[in-house]
Amino acid sequence: MGRGSSRGIDHGYVLGGDVMATAVTMTEEQYHEHCNEYNGLCLKCGEIRFGMTEPDAEGYECLDCGEMAVQGIENAMMAGNLEIVSDDD
């Protein structure tokens, strides 16, 4: 804060990466689990990469499709590729 940068959470803000046509949805609980376990989201195939992906990672390799398109879970949410849904019924 206060260093002249306004890199806050802002809808539609893209962190230099791709944006998926449809955001992946998960509950807040799942989101925190993915953060804690350093999981990431592949923007190409929509698969979760498990482990070794910092929340602010960008361009990591997807083990499912082989693309360098895995985004850290926090980045994915800020870029609009991940949407938190309520798990209430």
Provide the edge-to-edge strand list for the sheet that holds 70-72: 48-49, 40-42, 70-72
Query: Which one of residues 26, 62, 77, 78 is an interface residue with Zn ion (CB under 5 A)?
Result: 62
Residue 61 engages Zn ion in binding (rule: CB under 5 A): no
Query: Which one of residues 14, 52, 65, 85 is an interface residue with Zn ion (CB under 5 A)?
Result: 65
For β-strands 24-27 and 48-49, DSSP reports them as unpaired
Q: Under rule CB under 5 A, how many of the chain's residues touch Zn ion?
A: 6
State whether the Cα torsion 77-80-86-89 is positive or negative. negative
Q: Which of residues 8-47 bind Zn ion (CB under 5 A)?
A: 42, 44-45
Residues that bind Zn ion (CB under 5 A): 42, 44-45, 62, 64-65
